[in-house]
Amino acid sequence: MSESIGSSGPGMKLHTKILLGLTVGLMAGIATNLTVGVDNPRVEWINTYIAGPVGQVFLRMLFMVVMPLVFASITLGVAGLGDIRKVGRVGGKAITYFFVTTCLAATLGLIVVNTMRPWERVAPETRVALMDRFAGDASTRVEAAATTAKFGPETFVNIVPRNPIDAAAKTDMLGVIFFGLMFGAALTLIAAEKAKPMIAWLEALSEVVIQIIHFAMMLAPYGVACLIFTVSSRFGIDLLVAVAAFVITVLIALGAHVGLTLFAILKFGIGIPPLLFLSRVKAALITAFSTSSSSATLPTALDVSETQLGIPRQIAGFVLPIGSTMCMNGTAIFEGITVIFLAEIFNVDLTLTQMAIVMIMSVITAIGAAGVPGGSIPLLVGILTMFGVPGEAIAIVLGVDRILDMSRTTINVFSDLTATAFVAKSEGVWSPKDVPAQS
Ligand code: ASP
């Protein structure tokens, strides 16, 4: 699973191509909007026969892997916890840290997005037009909004699917997650020789799914160009302002999480000056920023934790690998903000209960996302549809995702390293005094 979803063959890097696709699609769309206007029959023809279908194929490639991806990663995550029971205390501490910091991150994201309200930069006419544009699945939208709107005993009962295949067919993420949790837990309790082939099968399934996402990402530069063209030819410059406001909101929330939560843990929970810690782990942070992959950063993270911080290998070697797939603070922030932003744009008014569900889903899917570039995108599409926001709306943010991915991955890795120091300190096997003098 360590291979990058964003990698491509020789030549121009895939993320550069996606950015280029975004720029070309956006410029062409805005120019069309400002000159001939969207009602021009030729523009309509391009949108109906070229831009629309290419964009759809790309999106469907992503949609089609959501359910197997969620099932495989949740099941494998829980099955992996079976080993953690053996390692008991250390595992418990690490998982508690992952869970608490990811919850704090998701909550902070929701607070920042509700304070900054980037969707208010979108003119009401643009919102109406956007809804029209993506009205294709309006009925599912209403249905989905209705099922998540009510709160009562059925909220919990509905989490348990009657039929897991039906849940997957209806993109019922909670149902599939619940089934995955049960499946994983059961796997840890049956005889090891029986569980082994199933785990190997699930590992293969998740790798296959990642490979399919690779295929989809090869289409991404064209898909993004087409999707953005159809949107911007219709909405012009207004959309650009909204997306810039969204990017700034995510970056502010990521910065706030580091400054408030992670620095507080370092200073008060571990007793190490945050800036000293930051300067010691910078090689890992730079790797995370440039690869957008927690998994690809793992070797560097292991190296800095040992050589730059002096943390014993048995702790770092245990906490960091799990952290690279389970501890994604930055991803949870990004997901929560994106869901709220797009929901508001599409006039899906979320109640407080639904906001809480967005937070919980951001935490669960951040834990379930693969530590590879764009690893959280398919899961994010799943949450969007769950709240009645058309999954296609992801196109609005996908073009700018690379910069957000680089930033959130850096925060993910920073939090993994903080977790390692926290666990090592609380186990009494390391203290800030053990940080080697810089050579
Ligand atoms: N790229 C992220 C990581 O590897 C995952 C994501 O949020 O897409 O940590």
For ligand 1, the distance from its centroid to the CA atom of residue 405, given in whole angstroms, is: 6
Cβ(226)–Cβ(25) under 8 Å? yes
Which has more pLDDT, 42 or 368? 42
How far apart CA 125 and CA 347 sit, in angstroms, is 12
For ligand 1, the distance from its centroid to the CA atom of residue 362, given in whole angstroms, is: 13
For ligand 1, the distance from its centroid to the CA atom of residue 400, given in whole angstroms, is: 14
For ligand 1, the distance from its centroid to the CA atom of residue 376, given in whole angstroms, is: 6
Q: Give per-residue pLDDT as tens, 348-366.
A: 888 888 889 999 999 988 8
Q: What pLDDT score was predicted for residue 15?
A: 67
How far apart CA 120 and CA 180 sit, in angstroms, is 38
Mean pLDDT of 392-396: 78
Give 12's contacts (C-beta < 8 A, 6+ positions apart): 20
Q: How many other β-carbons are positioned within 10 Å of the β-carbon of residue 113?
A: 26
Is 4 a residue whose pLDDT tops 70? no
Q: What pLDDT score was predicted for residue 431?
A: 92
How far apart CA 430 and CA 315 sit, in angstroms, is 10
For ligand 1, the distance from its centroid to the CA atom of residue 41, given in whole angstroms, is: 41
- Residue 331 CA: nearest ligand 1 atom is 7
Nearest CA to ligand 1 atom 1: 373
For ligand 1, the distance from its centroid to the CA atom of residue 330, given in whole angstroms, is: 8
Which has more pLDDT, 6 or 327? 327
Q: What pLDDT score was predicted for residue 136?
A: 52
How far apart CA 362 and CA 359 sit, in angstroms, is 5
Please report, as a single letter, which amino acid is at residue 377.
I
- Identify the top-confidence range among 33-37, 100-104, 430-434: 100-104
Displacement of CA 104 from its chain's centroid (Å): 16
**Which residues does ligand 1 sit against, CB inside 6 Å?**
292-294, 328, 331, 369, 371-376, 405, 408-409, 412
Q: What pLDDT score was predicted for residue 323?
A: 84
- Residue 330 CA: nearest ligand 1 atom is 7
3 state SS of 406? helix
Percent helix / strand / coil, the chain, rounded to 5: 80, 0, 20
Q: Give per-residue pLDDT as tens, 115-167.
A: 999 888 777 777 777 666 665 544 444 344 444 444 456 657 877 999 999 98
Is 235 a residue whose pLDDT tops 80? no
- Residue 328 CA: nearest ligand 1 atom is 9
Among the residue ranges 24-33, 119-128, 287-296, the one predicted with the least confidence is 119-128
Mean pLDDT of 243-269: 95
Cβ(371)–Cβ(328) under 8 Å? yes
Residue 107 half-sphere exposure toward CB, CA atoms < 13 A: 8
At 244, the pLDDT band (50, 70, 90 cuts) reads: confident
Q: What pLDDT score was predicted for residue 83?
A: 56
Q: What pLDDT score was predicted for residue 413?
A: 96
Q: Give per-residue pLDDT as tens, 59-80.
A: 778 777 777 877 887 787 677 6
**To the nearest 10°, the Cα dihedral for 226, 228, 234, 239?**
180
- Residue 297 CA: nearest ligand 1 atom is 4
Give 276's contacts (C-beta < 8 A, 6+ positions apart): 435
Mean pLDDT of the chain: 82
**Mutate-to-test residue for ligand 1 from 66, 98, 292, highest number of ligand atoms within 8 A of CB:** 292
- Residue 370 CA: nearest ligand 1 atom is 5
- Residue 295 CA: nearest ligand 1 atom is 4
For ligand 1, the distance from its centroid to the CA atom of residue 370, given in whole angstroms, is: 7
Cβ(119)–Cβ(341) under 8 Å? yes
pLDDT above 70 as % of the chain = 87
How far apart CA 375 and CA 372 sit, in angstroms, is 5
How far apart CA 162 and CA 415 sit, in angstroms, is 38
**Mutate-to-test residue for ligand 1 from 408, 413, 414, highest number of ligand atoms within 8 A of CB:** 408
For residue 434, what is the DSSP state? G
Is 212 a residue whose pLDDT tops 80? yes
Is 392 a residue whose pLDDT tops 90? no
Computed from CA positions of residues 151, 342, 375, 92, in that sequence, does the dihedral angle turn out positive or negative?
A: negative
217 closest CA partner among 415, 420, 401: 401
Mean pLDDT of 242-261: 93
Mean pLDDT of 408-436: 93
Mean pLDDT of 392-409: 82
- Residue 371 CA: nearest ligand 1 atom is 4
- Residue 294 CA: nearest ligand 1 atom is 4
For residue 369, what is the DSSP state? S
Q: Whole-structure pTM over 0.85, yes or no? A: no
Q: How many residues are there in the chain?
A: 439
How far apart CA 345 and CA 123 sit, in angstroms, is 10
Q: What pLDDT score was predicted for residue 433?
A: 92
For ligand 1, the distance from its centroid to the CA atom of residue 291, given in whole angstroms, is: 10
**Mutate-to-test residue for ligand 1 from 398, 405, 413, 417, highest number of ligand atoms within 8 A of CB:** 405
